[in-house]
Amino acid sequence: MLCRRRHNTRGGALCYFAAWDAKRAKLFDRCDEKDGIVPFDKLVAQFMTVEPYSKARRVFVIVDNGSAHRGQASIKRLQSRYKNLILVHTPVHASWLNQAEIYFSIVQRKVLTPNDFPDLDTLEQQLLAFARRYEQIAAPFQWKFTRQDLDRLAHRLDQPTVQAA
């Protein structure tokens, strides 16, 4: 997420990166002066170098198609560093499938509106403080759709349909 401050003089921009573990209600976030592969990879390192992620058999990281993590090159880059990381790209124009994007929409409403910060340091402090508060009140996402539900659905979809005469 790119956050710009409003001011009479050009104050620059601040990029806010976040990763949301929906199962544990755990947030990993950071701010950087710019967007790109290096800042994104630093975010990934924040969680992939600590337990339980570093020791997990598989860690699914769901991302949109942003330039820092788009395509096969990003999969190869990240999986060469973290053998247990599986990068999953959401379909284009399907940000609603990404839990981090839902978090960003909350940040937009609760922190960035109005976007009226005196400086980038204050903006960064507000973003990170909100994240700590959000993490305190958030609850793990309770998945209700099980593997068995998926199997039943797939089986039903595989059945030929009967057409009315």
What's the pLDDT tens digit per position in 132-160? 999 999 887 777 878 888 788 888 888 87
| Cα–Cα nearest to 27, from 138, 141, 112 | 138
Mean pLDDT throughout 80-88?
96
* Domain-located, residue 54: yes
User: Given a cut of 80, is residue 39 above it in pLDDT?
Assistant: yes
Of the two residues 92 and 50, the one the predictor is more confident about is 50
* Domain-located, residue 164: no
Report which residue type is found at 151.
D
Question: Where is 130: in which H helix or E strand?
Answer: helix 120-137
Domain extent for 119: 2-158
| Number of domains making up the chain | 1
Partners of residue 59 on adjacent β-strands: 85
* Domain-located, residue 120: yes
Separation between Cα atoms, residue 86 and residue 79, nearest integer Å: 7
State the pLDDT at residue 96. Answer: 65
* Domain-located, residue 153: yes
| End-to-end CA, the chain | 53
